[in-house]
Structure 1
Amino acid sequence: MDCWVNTNLGAPEGDANYLFPGLAERWARGTTLSQLCDEMDAAGIEKAVLVSGYGTGDTLSWVKDAVNRFPERFAASHIIDPRQGMDAVRLVDSLVRNDGYRLIRMMALMTQKPYDDAIYFPIYSKCAELGVPVSVNVGFPGPRVPSKCQDPFALDEVCHFFPELKIIMAHGGEPWTDLCVKLMLKWPNLFYMTSAFAPKHIPAAIIRYLNTRGADRIMWASDYPVLTFERCMKEIAGLEIRDEETLAKFVAENARKLFFSA
């Protein structure tokens, strides 16, 4: 099976270990590039999206090195802090133009600002100009911080203002998953990624949308090491997905088009 994952490296700020058995040990262990490739091979995973700018250590150099060594296997993404203003805009421009980054991420749990706040708009504008997607966390965050800033309804304004910008809702969207579906029905460049949700816990509204009108809009991600590849593969096999074509889009093809197409 060809699958894509959203891979975080380096222990994060904030504690979500209470949600995922064994996560603290996986963070403490760390992950070498050879370990990551071996675990992907064992699970039948061909490609991964790596994340820099999250947690401790020099994740930026780690991710750049991985992509440079295995460009056919890895794409790069980076978590941007929009509160840094023009420094953040210049960083996005450099990462995309000079280092081939394919995704820019932002997290309201970090900024404590909703996604229609003015601080994000320079980043949205730059990403629209560069033709690179933006991923934002939606729903209650795992770390114990206030949650209302991650209400996906704020993306209604963003999608209207930047119709050409591809936006990916990540990390589940609960308890607003029905709203996530409504927004995707309305805005053609809005997508949903299941990162940090064990496949067996993917909300029913998302599976229904995947099996009907949303086959091109929903993609699986593990948020490794939050979830192990082995667990994800076992649980994906138990999902009620209508046919092999829809399954292929969910685990591979939708991500291929967004992150690995020229």
Structure 2
Amino acid sequence: MKIAALSDIHGNLAALDAVLDDARNETVDLIVNLGDILSGALYPAQTADRLMALGLPTIKGNHERQLLAGDPSRMGASDRFAYRALRDDQLAWLRDLPATLRPVEDVLLVHGTPSSDLDYFLETVTASGCRVATRAEVESRAGDAQATLVLCGHTHLQRSLKLEDGRLIVNPGSVGLPAYEDEHPFAHRMEAGSAHARYAIVTKHASGWDVRFKAVEYDWNEAARVAASNNRPEWARALLTGYC
């Protein structure tokens, strides 16, 4: 079994198409989508149409939950932009997505952790910033999740950790946004360090799962131009550089 894990597309259609093409060349058995699909400054409606047609196993992220609340005055800029661009059928598609999913035996899809779409799984945020989570922290967040492979997103950073009991936790990074700033629970930055679209190939062997992280080129200059034209200069900077 070979799985392509995609997450945090954020309406970046060009990055999504580049990753899908790359995954096809990898001859994967399954492509999964870990949420935060449309919110941003680029192409939410067009990205929704592409994904709705593909029918990939897909879960909600925190941004889906936030924009489905349906009150633009209370939304952040990324959710508000997507909400105003989406048709009723696209919103209905988002509404029907589960928060977690088991697409095949022994594989669990979550956005943040099994219990939260906002908590980080493989990183820990403190008043001093963001650091790699300890094994004990990851074990606690994994809880009793019954899966040999847990795929998560949310932090936009490629990282994996094998737990003592053999479970593998994998974050494939972000397809569509390589850097962002956040205030939850303390101010911090998440930066991939380059403009590439990122995803992961996870393969099951007789001895268990292994992961290979991928970084794919696409026209990020055009994506940054669109973000700037939509009055999101911080997005343009992140898309061009991978830094905030």
Q: Give the TM bin, normalised by the shorter chain.
A: 0.3 to 0.5
What TM-score do you get using the length of structure 2 for normalisation? 0.39
Greater RCO (CA < 8 Å, at least 6 residues apart): 2
